[in-house]
A and B are shown apart, each in its own frame.
Chain A
Protein backbone atom coordinates (compact mmCIF):
# COMPACT_ATOMS: atom_id res chain seq x y z
CA UNK A 1 0.00 0.00 0.00
CA UNK A 2 2.82 2.42 -0.69
CA UNK A 3 0.47 4.67 -2.61
CA UNK A 4 -1.52 5.56 0.54
CA UNK A 5 1.57 7.09 2.14
CA UNK A 6 1.58 10.09 -0.15
CA UNK A 7 -1.41 11.69 -1.74
CA UNK A 8 0.63 13.65 -4.25
CA UNK A 9 -1.47 14.61 -7.20
CA UNK A 10 0.00 13.62 -10.48
CA UNK A 11 -0.55 16.86 -12.37
CA UNK A 12 2.35 18.40 -14.20
CA UNK A 13 3.87 21.71 -12.95
CA UNK A 14 2.32 23.52 -15.93
CA UNK A 15 -1.16 22.29 -14.93
CA UNK A 16 -0.68 23.41 -11.33
CA UNK A 17 0.49 26.84 -12.47
CA UNK A 18 -2.52 27.11 -14.74
CA UNK A 19 -4.80 26.27 -11.83
CA UNK A 20 -3.10 28.86 -9.60
CA UNK A 21 -3.59 31.64 -12.15
CA UNK A 22 -7.17 30.55 -12.79
CA UNK A 23 -7.85 30.87 -9.05
CA UNK A 24 -6.20 34.29 -9.06
CA UNK A 25 -8.57 35.49 -11.80
CA UNK A 26 -11.59 34.03 -10.00
CA UNK A 27 -10.63 35.82 -6.77
CA UNK A 28 -10.02 39.11 -8.59
CA UNK A 29 -13.29 38.79 -10.47
CA UNK A 30 -15.23 38.16 -7.24
CA UNK A 31 -13.58 41.20 -5.62
CA UNK A 32 -14.61 43.38 -8.57
CA UNK A 33 -18.15 41.95 -8.30
CA UNK A 34 -18.11 42.89 -4.60
CA UNK A 35 -17.25 46.50 -5.36
CA UNK A 36 -19.70 46.80 -8.28
CA UNK A 37 -22.51 45.37 -6.14
CA UNK A 38 -21.60 47.73 -3.31
CA UNK A 39 -22.16 50.77 -5.50
CA UNK A 40 -25.16 49.30 -7.29
CA UNK A 41 -26.94 48.59 -3.99
CA UNK A 42 -25.79 51.74 -2.19
CA UNK A 43 -29.20 53.04 -1.16
CA UNK A 44 -30.68 49.60 -0.52
CA UNK A 45 -30.44 48.41 3.06
CA UNK A 46 -31.40 44.88 3.86
CA UNK A 47 -30.21 41.79 5.62
CA UNK A 48 -30.20 40.09 2.19
CA UNK A 49 -27.55 42.47 0.89
CA UNK A 50 -25.28 41.66 3.85
CA UNK A 51 -25.92 37.94 3.38
CA UNK A 52 -24.96 38.28 -0.28
CA UNK A 53 -21.63 39.95 0.57
CA UNK A 54 -20.86 37.32 3.22
CA UNK A 55 -21.68 34.53 0.75
CA UNK A 56 -19.31 36.07 -1.81
CA UNK A 57 -16.68 36.12 0.96
CA UNK A 58 -17.32 32.44 1.67
CA UNK A 59 -16.88 31.58 -2.03
CA UNK A 60 -13.53 33.43 -2.05
CA UNK A 61 -12.55 31.64 1.16
CA UNK A 62 -13.40 28.30 -0.47
CA UNK A 63 -11.04 28.97 -3.39
CA UNK A 64 -8.21 30.14 -1.10
CA UNK A 65 -8.52 27.09 1.18
CA UNK A 66 -9.12 24.53 -1.57
CA UNK A 67 -6.48 25.59 -4.08
CA UNK A 68 -3.94 27.88 -2.39
CA UNK A 69 -3.91 25.98 0.90
CA UNK A 70 -4.07 22.68 -0.97
CA UNK A 71 -7.04 21.35 1.01
CA UNK A 72 -8.63 19.93 -2.16
CA UNK A 73 -5.77 17.45 -2.47
CA UNK A 74 -5.52 16.46 1.20
CA UNK A 75 -7.34 13.59 2.87
CA UNK A 76 -10.99 14.14 3.80
CA UNK A 77 -10.08 13.46 7.44
CA UNK A 78 -7.85 16.55 7.52
CA UNK A 79 -10.54 18.72 5.92
CA UNK A 80 -12.97 17.34 8.51
CA UNK A 81 -10.94 18.19 11.60
CA UNK A 82 -10.46 21.76 10.36
CA UNK A 83 -13.81 22.61 8.80
CA UNK A 84 -16.23 20.83 11.17
CA UNK A 85 -15.05 22.55 14.39
CA UNK A 86 -15.13 25.88 12.57
CA UNK A 87 -18.86 25.37 11.98
CA UNK A 88 -19.30 26.10 15.72
CA UNK A 89 -18.88 29.75 14.77
CA UNK A 90 -22.29 29.55 13.11
CA UNK A 91 -23.82 28.93 16.56
CA UNK A 92 -22.04 32.03 17.87
CA UNK A 93 -23.40 34.10 14.96
CA UNK A 94 -26.91 32.76 15.53
CA UNK A 95 -26.83 33.61 19.27
CA UNK A 96 -25.36 37.05 18.64
CA UNK A 97 -27.99 37.90 16.02
CA UNK A 98 -30.77 37.15 18.55
CA UNK A 99 -29.00 39.15 21.25
CA UNK A 100 -28.29 42.00 18.85
CA UNK A 101 -31.96 42.19 17.89
CA UNK A 102 -32.96 42.73 21.54
CA UNK A 103 -30.22 45.34 22.07
CA UNK A 104 -31.40 47.16 18.96
CA UNK A 105 -34.96 47.25 20.33
CA UNK A 106 -33.72 48.70 23.62
CA UNK A 107 -31.94 51.59 21.93
Chain B
Protein backbone atom coordinates (compact mmCIF):
# COMPACT_ATOMS: atom_id res chain seq x y z
CA UNK B 1 0.00 0.00 0.00
CA UNK B 2 2.75 2.35 0.93
CA UNK B 3 4.25 1.79 -2.46
CA UNK B 4 1.17 2.83 -4.44
CA UNK B 5 0.73 6.03 -2.48
CA UNK B 6 4.35 6.96 -3.15
CA UNK B 7 3.82 6.29 -6.85
CA UNK B 8 0.68 8.42 -6.91
CA UNK B 9 2.41 11.22 -5.10
CA UNK B 10 5.23 11.00 -7.61
CA UNK B 11 2.80 11.12 -10.52
CA UNK B 12 1.15 14.21 -9.07
CA UNK B 13 4.55 15.79 -8.64
CA UNK B 14 5.53 15.03 -12.22
CA UNK B 15 2.43 16.30 -13.98
CA UNK B 16 1.04 18.53 -11.22
CA UNK B 17 2.58 21.67 -12.68
CA UNK B 18 5.18 23.97 -11.27
CA UNK B 19 8.06 22.19 -12.95
CA UNK B 20 8.99 20.51 -16.21
CA UNK B 21 7.54 17.00 -16.45
CA UNK B 22 10.31 16.20 -18.89
CA UNK B 23 13.08 16.99 -16.39
CA UNK B 24 14.99 18.87 -19.05
CA UNK B 25 15.50 22.60 -19.18
CA UNK B 26 13.38 24.91 -21.32
CA UNK B 27 16.20 25.46 -23.81
CA UNK B 28 16.84 21.77 -24.36
CA UNK B 29 13.14 21.00 -24.78
CA UNK B 30 12.82 23.78 -27.36
CA UNK B 31 15.87 22.45 -29.20
CA UNK B 32 14.14 19.06 -29.40
CA UNK B 33 10.94 20.67 -30.72
CA UNK B 34 12.94 22.62 -33.31
CA UNK B 35 14.70 19.43 -34.40
CA UNK B 36 11.30 17.74 -34.78
CA UNK B 37 10.13 20.50 -37.13
CA UNK B 38 13.43 20.36 -39.00
CA UNK B 39 13.03 16.59 -39.32
CA UNK B 40 9.69 17.25 -41.03
CA UNK B 41 11.38 19.59 -43.54
CA UNK B 42 14.01 17.00 -44.39
CA UNK B 43 11.41 14.23 -44.54
CA UNK B 44 9.36 16.17 -47.08
CA UNK B 45 12.46 16.69 -49.24
CA UNK B 46 13.53 13.05 -49.03
CA UNK B 47 9.99 11.78 -49.63
CA UNK B 48 9.85 14.03 -52.71
CA UNK B 49 13.08 12.43 -53.87
CA UNK B 50 11.64 8.97 -53.23
CA UNK B 51 8.46 9.86 -55.12
CA UNK B 52 10.23 11.16 -58.24
CA UNK B 53 12.76 8.33 -58.10
CA UNK B 54 9.90 5.84 -57.89
CA UNK B 55 8.21 7.19 -61.01
CA UNK B 56 11.32 6.51 -63.15
CA UNK B 57 12.51 3.03 -64.07
CA UNK B 58 16.05 2.22 -62.95
CA UNK B 59 18.60 1.85 -65.72
CA UNK B 60 19.49 -1.80 -65.95
CA UNK B 61 23.22 -2.39 -66.31
CA UNK B 62 24.11 -5.75 -67.83
CA UNK B 63 27.77 -5.42 -67.00
CA UNK B 64 29.14 -3.95 -63.84
CA UNK B 65 31.98 -1.45 -64.21
CA UNK B 66 34.66 -2.91 -61.96
CA UNK B 67 35.77 -0.76 -59.04
CA UNK B 68 39.39 0.46 -59.37
CA UNK B 69 39.31 0.01 -63.17
CA UNK B 70 40.47 2.91 -65.34
CA UNK B 71 37.75 5.09 -66.78
CA UNK B 72 38.05 6.71 -70.20
CA UNK B 73 38.13 10.51 -70.60
CA UNK B 74 34.68 10.38 -72.19
CA UNK B 75 33.15 8.14 -69.51
CA UNK B 76 29.86 10.09 -69.36
CA UNK B 77 29.54 10.05 -73.19
CA UNK B 78 30.21 6.31 -73.30
CA UNK B 79 27.58 5.69 -70.62
CA UNK B 80 25.08 7.73 -72.62
CA UNK B 81 25.81 5.75 -75.78
CA UNK B 82 25.30 2.54 -73.82
CA UNK B 83 21.92 3.96 -72.68
CA UNK B 84 23.01 3.69 -69.06
CA UNK B 85 22.54 7.45 -68.80
CA UNK B 86 19.33 8.56 -70.46
CA UNK B 87 16.53 10.99 -69.59
CA UNK B 88 14.12 8.05 -69.33
CA UNK B 89 16.07 6.20 -66.65
CA UNK B 90 17.17 7.04 -63.18
CA UNK B 91 21.00 6.70 -63.24
CA UNK B 92 22.88 4.20 -61.08
CA UNK B 93 24.60 6.14 -58.29
CA UNK B 94 27.87 4.20 -58.57
CA UNK B 95 28.30 5.38 -62.18
CA UNK B 96 27.68 9.03 -61.25
CA UNK B 97 29.57 9.39 -57.97
CA UNK B 98 32.76 7.55 -58.89
CA UNK B 99 35.45 10.22 -58.39
CA UNK B 100 38.04 10.70 -55.70
CA UNK B 101 40.38 13.68 -55.25
CA UNK B 102 43.90 13.15 -56.67
CA UNK B 103 42.87 9.80 -58.17
CA UNK B 104 41.66 11.03 -61.52
CA UNK B 105 40.64 8.45 -64.10
CA UNK B 106 39.93 5.64 -61.67
CA UNK B 107 36.47 4.20 -61.17
CA UNK B 108 35.98 4.53 -57.40
CA UNK B 109 32.25 4.25 -56.84
CA UNK B 110 30.89 5.61 -53.56
CA UNK B 111 34.36 5.70 -51.95
CA UNK B 112 34.27 9.46 -51.49
CA UNK B 113 30.77 9.66 -49.96
CA UNK B 114 31.70 6.81 -47.61
CA UNK B 115 34.67 8.88 -46.48
CA UNK B 116 32.33 11.87 -45.96
CA UNK B 117 30.03 9.65 -43.88
CA UNK B 118 32.91 8.57 -41.65
CA UNK B 119 34.05 12.19 -41.23
CA UNK B 120 30.57 13.14 -40.01
CA UNK B 121 30.19 10.11 -37.71
CA UNK B 122 33.59 10.89 -36.22
CA UNK B 123 32.74 14.54 -35.62
CA UNK B 124 29.57 13.35 -33.88
CA UNK B 125 31.72 11.25 -31.56
CA UNK B 126 34.01 14.18 -30.71
CA UNK B 127 30.89 16.27 -30.03
CA UNK B 128 29.46 13.74 -27.59
CA UNK B 129 32.89 13.50 -25.93
CA UNK B 130 32.78 17.29 -25.48
CA UNK B 131 29.36 16.96 -23.82
CA UNK B 132 30.73 14.22 -21.55
CA UNK B 133 33.69 16.44 -20.58
CA UNK B 134 31.19 19.22 -19.87
CA UNK B 135 29.50 17.07 -17.24
CA UNK B 136 32.83 16.91 -15.41
CA UNK B 137 33.39 20.68 -15.87
CA UNK B 138 36.68 19.87 -17.61
CA UNK B 139 37.11 23.09 -19.54
CA UNK B 140 40.25 22.13 -21.46
CA UNK B 141 38.80 18.83 -22.65
CA UNK B 142 35.54 20.49 -23.76
CA UNK B 143 37.52 23.05 -25.77
CA UNK B 144 39.71 20.35 -27.33
CA UNK B 145 36.79 18.18 -28.44
CA UNK B 146 34.79 21.21 -29.66
CA UNK B 147 37.76 22.20 -31.82
CA UNK B 148 37.95 18.67 -33.28
CA UNK B 149 34.20 18.81 -34.02
CA UNK B 150 34.61 22.14 -35.82
CA UNK B 151 37.45 20.66 -37.90
CA UNK B 152 35.25 17.66 -38.72
CA UNK B 153 32.49 19.97 -39.91
CA UNK B 154 34.87 22.01 -42.05
CA UNK B 155 36.33 18.79 -43.52
CA UNK B 156 32.85 17.58 -44.42
CA UNK B 157 31.94 20.91 -46.05
CA UNK B 158 35.18 20.89 -48.05
CA UNK B 159 34.40 17.37 -49.29
CA UNK B 160 30.94 18.49 -50.30
CA UNK B 161 32.31 21.56 -52.10
CA UNK B 162 34.67 19.28 -54.02
CA UNK B 163 31.85 16.92 -54.98
CA UNK B 164 29.61 19.77 -56.10
CA UNK B 165 32.45 21.19 -58.23
CA UNK B 166 32.98 17.77 -59.80
CA UNK B 167 29.26 17.39 -60.50
CA UNK B 168 28.94 20.91 -61.92
CA UNK B 169 31.99 20.62 -64.22
CA UNK B 170 30.43 17.48 -65.69
CA UNK B 171 27.42 19.58 -66.70
CA UNK B 172 24.91 19.05 -63.91
CA UNK B 173 22.79 21.98 -62.81
CA UNK B 174 19.28 22.74 -61.57
CA UNK B 175 17.98 22.65 -65.15
CA UNK B 176 20.23 20.15 -66.90
CA UNK B 177 21.77 16.79 -66.21
CA UNK B 178 24.04 14.66 -68.43
CA UNK B 179 23.43 11.57 -66.27
CA UNK B 180 19.69 11.26 -66.66
CA UNK B 181 16.49 13.07 -65.67
CA UNK B 182 16.91 16.74 -64.81
CA UNK B 183 15.13 16.11 -61.50
CA UNK B 184 18.03 13.90 -60.40
CA UNK B 185 20.56 16.76 -60.46
CA UNK B 186 18.06 19.35 -59.20
CA UNK B 187 17.12 17.22 -56.18
CA UNK B 188 20.76 16.42 -55.51
CA UNK B 189 21.63 20.12 -55.29
CA UNK B 190 18.53 21.04 -53.27
CA UNK B 191 18.78 18.25 -50.68
CA UNK B 192 22.57 18.11 -50.22
CA UNK B 193 22.57 21.93 -50.35
CA UNK B 194 19.94 22.14 -47.60
CA UNK B 195 21.89 19.63 -45.54
CA UNK B 196 25.19 21.41 -46.23
CA UNK B 197 23.61 24.66 -45.08
CA UNK B 198 22.71 22.93 -41.81
CA UNK B 199 26.29 21.73 -41.44
CA UNK B 200 27.53 25.27 -42.08
CA UNK B 201 25.14 26.68 -39.44
CA UNK B 202 26.32 23.94 -37.09
CA UNK B 203 29.97 24.88 -37.62
CA UNK B 204 29.16 28.54 -36.93
CA UNK B 205 27.19 27.64 -33.76
CA UNK B 206 29.94 25.29 -32.58
CA UNK B 207 32.50 28.04 -33.15
CA UNK B 208 30.51 30.53 -31.05
CA UNK B 209 30.21 27.96 -28.23
CA UNK B 210 33.92 27.14 -28.56
CA UNK B 211 34.84 30.81 -28.09
CA UNK B 212 32.51 30.97 -25.07
CA UNK B 213 34.15 27.87 -23.58
CA UNK B 214 37.61 29.42 -23.95
CA UNK B 215 36.26 32.63 -22.51
CA UNK B 216 35.09 30.78 -19.40
CA UNK B 217 31.41 31.74 -19.80
CA UNK B 218 30.18 28.26 -18.86
CA UNK B 219 32.76 27.83 -16.15
CA UNK B 220 31.33 30.91 -14.44
CA UNK B 221 27.79 29.66 -15.07
CA UNK B 222 28.68 26.37 -13.39
CA UNK B 223 27.41 24.07 -16.15
CA UNK B 224 28.05 23.32 -19.82
CA UNK B 225 24.46 22.90 -20.96
CA UNK B 226 24.96 25.08 -24.04
CA UNK B 227 27.43 22.47 -25.30
CA UNK B 228 24.68 19.85 -24.92
CA UNK B 229 22.21 21.99 -26.89
CA UNK B 230 24.50 22.56 -29.87
CA UNK B 231 25.44 18.90 -29.50
CA UNK B 232 21.81 17.91 -30.10
CA UNK B 233 21.77 20.03 -33.25
CA UNK B 234 25.06 18.57 -34.46
CA UNK B 235 23.91 14.97 -33.97
CA UNK B 236 20.73 15.80 -35.83
CA UNK B 237 22.80 16.95 -38.82
CA UNK B 238 24.63 13.60 -38.69
CA UNK B 239 21.30 11.79 -38.43
CA UNK B 240 19.97 13.52 -41.55
CA UNK B 241 23.14 12.62 -43.43
CA UNK B 242 22.47 8.93 -42.70
CA UNK B 243 19.25 9.23 -44.70
CA UNK B 244 20.64 11.52 -47.41
CA UNK B 245 23.38 8.89 -47.88
CA UNK B 246 20.81 6.07 -48.00
CA UNK B 247 18.48 7.77 -50.45
CA UNK B 248 20.94 9.40 -52.83
CA UNK B 249 23.75 6.89 -52.95
CA UNK B 250 22.35 3.49 -52.05
CA UNK B 251 18.81 3.39 -53.43
B94 to chain A, nearest CB (A): 7
Contact residues in B for A89 (Cβ distance below 8 Å): 39-40, 43, 47
For residue B128, CB closer than 8 A to chain A, the reply is yes
B211 within 8 A of A: no
Are B243 and A61 in contact, with the CB atoms below 8 A?
yes
Residues of A in contact with B, size category: 35 or more
Q: Is B75 an interface residue (CB 8 A)?
A: no
Does A57 lie within 8 Å of B242, measured CB to CB?
yes
Q: Across the interface, which residues of B come within 8 angstroms of A50, CB to CB? A: 251
What number of residue pairs across chains A and B have CB atoms under 8 A from each other?
Answer: 144
Contact B22 A68 (CB under 8 A): no
The secondary-structure label for the interface of chain B is helix
Of the candidate stretches B152-160, B202-210, B214-222, B231-239, the one touching chain A is B231-239
Which listed segment binds A: B114-122, B163-171, B172-180, B185-193?
A: B114-122
0/1 interface trace, chain A 48-79, chain B, CB 8 Å (1 if under): 00100110110011001101111000110110
Give a binary string over B121-133; 1 marks a CB under 8 Å from any A CB, 0 the rest: 1101101110110
Q: How does the 8 Å CB contact mask read for B12-26 relative to A, with 1 for contact and 0 for none? A: 011000010111100
The answer for the CA separation of A96 and B47 in the assembled complex, in Å, is: 8
CB < 8 Å: which of B23, B44, B118 contacts A75? B23
A4 and B44 CA atoms in complex are apart in Å by: 38
Question: Is B29 at the interface (CB under 8 A from chain A)?
Answer: yes
Interface residues on B, range: 35 or more
Residue in A34, A43, A60, A74 whose CB lies within 8 Å of B64 = A43
List the B side residues contacting A35 at CB < 8 Å: 110, 114
**In the complex, how many angstroms separate the beta carbon of B144 from the nearest chain A beta carbon?**
14
Could you list 9 further interchain pairs (A-B, Cβ under 8 angstroms) beyond the known A42-B94, A64-B238, A69-B235?
A: A4-B23, A57-B246, A60-B242, A67-B128, A81-B36, A93-B47, A96-B50, A96-B51, A103-B55
Binding site for B on A (CB under 8 A): 1, 4-7, 13, 16-17, 20-21, 23-24, 27-28, 31, 34-35, 38-39, 42-43, 45, 50, 53-54, 56-57, 60-61, 64-65, 67-70, 74-75, 77-78, 81-82, 85-86, 89, 92-93, 96-97, 99-101, 103-104, 107
**B contacts, CB < 8 Å to A:** 9-10, 13-14, 19, 21-24, 29, 32-33, 35-36, 39-40, 43-44, 47, 50-51, 54-58, 60-61, 64, 67, 94, 110, 114, 117-118, 121-122, 124-125, 127-129, 131-132, 135-136, 228, 231-232, 235-236, 238-239, 242-243, 245-246, 249-251
